[in-house]
Chains A and B, each alone.
Chain A
């Protein structure tokens, strides 16, 4: 079973490489390669370090009742913000086409970010009144 999966996956991957090599010019392949490597660096260095700093701030600075809501907020807010980043930037907006990217994305994001912070604050208040201090923080 394992070797069948490894074999099938390798064949599929090699087919993808063949597709790229036969359908793109060398300059295009070079740019694809740059994007692939940049993707690894963007995640392994930039996104992970930013996420780690945010989570570290949560467990170091916030009182216990606020930590769990804050971690949930970081995961949801962070993941969704990253997914909608191209929309927030409106880099694909076209002056001639007002039906495309036609919402107030940045304003919505700011309001939602404020609501998330408010929700974390309220959830922490509720948890502290209930005396919910059961978990301990992780360092990393």
Chain B
């Protein structure tokens, strides 16, 4: 079996006219995915130069839902885009005596290799992370997904710059224009070029419909491949159970108490009965997972500001919210001062009219507006207040 040459690929669909049009949609998908990824990364930073806003409460739900949806859409678009330009992979390099063209060609090939590698890496790691499957042993998903996102978007912008004249000509002409086609790439196909572009968009749309139901309740019936069906205790799915976190004994202990700590001193402890005896509030807030799924719930509990005020911390700054979970990267989270002071931020004791289930974080859990789900600490045992 010999290595093919560009002339072996004769379909008229493998044209810059198609690549540019599919590429526009792919660029939009990657662009939204990148920007929403930056939002998610920033929202999870423990120390934010500019505080992440608490409103709208559904903001993170929207951006992270878009992140996963555009990632899914990008799969089909990327496959079609790469299919249309695949023959270029087999183009011969300029002769070694032509140093400048050779160097330019090598640099362009290298930038495309980086783009393909980074794009596939982002989509593959993102899609498996959404299912909470981690088929790697060494690297950190969050750190690598963030770093390679910059590499991917950088390589994409370089690619657009390099191909700009071809892109402009292609988009300025009719889709059936052949002025930029490779010689010999003129054999008709079962599909027209326009039909292929529409089909790739259709494939992206079907992919979105098939998966987005874990973030968009209206789509739950049609999203047969969503990571969850939207059901669970009190009608809300769970990411990590109490058994998985190893907190069942501590969370069900009669000795449970929530400690409020100021300047390393426990200033007040609240039993579960104490918390239940305080004024209760109900807020409709989403739990929006970093993996993309989300669900809205009616959370009932005590307002964070009321708990802190009862403990004597009436002008609280940032609060470290610690869980009964004694290990793992999210056993603690930092609740910035603007979230602490937002009256919608609750220590929830109930969800959708039920007592909070142990898998949702009983005895009490943090629920704040516009906050990544992974930072909505469950099984809260301690609030460390900075003043």
A40 to B229, CA, bound (A): 33
B227: chain A residues at CB < 8 Å are 87, 100-101
A87 to B82, CA, bound (A): 24
B127 touches A76 (CB 8 A): no
A44 to B82, CA, bound (A): 9
B147 touches A19 (CB 8 A): yes
B10: chain A residues at CB < 8 Å are 138-140
Q: How far does the Cβ of B255 sit from chain A's closest Cβ, in whole Å?
A: 25
Q: How many residues of A contact B (CB 8 A)?
A: 80
B200 touches A16 (CB 8 A): no
B128: chain A residues at CB < 8 Å are 86, 91-92
> Which listed residue, A9, A19, A37, A79, touches B157 by the CB 8 Å rule?
A9
Whether B211 sits at the interface, judged by CB under 8 Å, is yes
Whether A61 sits at the interface, judged by CB under 8 Å, is no
A11 to B154, CA, bound (A): 7
B237 touches A100 (CB 8 A): yes
Classify the secondary structure of A's interface with B: helix
A72 to B147, CA, bound (A): 35
- The residue on A at minimum CB distance from B124 is A39
- The residue on B at minimum CB distance from A92 is B133
A78 to B231, CA, bound (A): 29
Q: Knowing A8-B157, A15-B150, A40-B116, say if A59 contacts B190 (CB, 8 Å).
A: yes
A136: chain B residues at CB < 8 Å are 187-188
A94: chain B residues at CB < 8 Å are 132, 241, 244
Classify the secondary structure of B's interface with A: helix
A85 to B133, CA, bound (A): 12
Whether B151 sits at the interface, judged by CB under 8 Å, is yes
Whether A75 sits at the interface, judged by CB under 8 Å, is yes
Q: Knowing A79-B207, A102-B229, A139-B10, say if A12 contacts B150 (CB, 8 Å).
A: yes
Q: How far does the Cβ of B203 sit from chain A's closest Cβ, in whole Å?
A: 4
> Which listed residue, A5, A20, A24, A102, touches B161 by the CB 8 Å rule?
A5
Within 8 A of A (CB), among B219-264: 224-229, 231-233, 237-241, 243-244
A50 to B151, CA, bound (A): 28
- The residue on B at minimum CB distance from A82 is B75
Whether B202 sits at the interface, judged by CB under 8 Å, is yes
Residues of B within 8 A of A (CB): 8-13, 72, 75-76, 79-80, 82-83, 86, 89, 113-114, 116-121, 124-125, 127-128, 130-140, 143-144, 146-162, 164-165, 187-192, 195-196, 199-200, 202-204, 206-207, 210-211, 224-229, 231-233, 237-241, 243-244, 359
Q: List 13 A-B contacts (CB under 8 A).
A: A13-B150, A16-B152, A24-B147, A28-B144, A42-B120, A59-B190, A75-B199, A80-B203, A83-B210, A84-B211, A90-B131, A100-B239, A103-B228
Residues of A within 8 A of B (CB): 1-6, 8-17, 19-20, 23-25, 27-32, 35-37, 39-40, 42-44, 47-48, 51, 58-59, 64, 67-68, 70-72, 75-76, 78-80, 82-92, 94, 96-97, 99-103, 105, 108-109, 112, 135-140
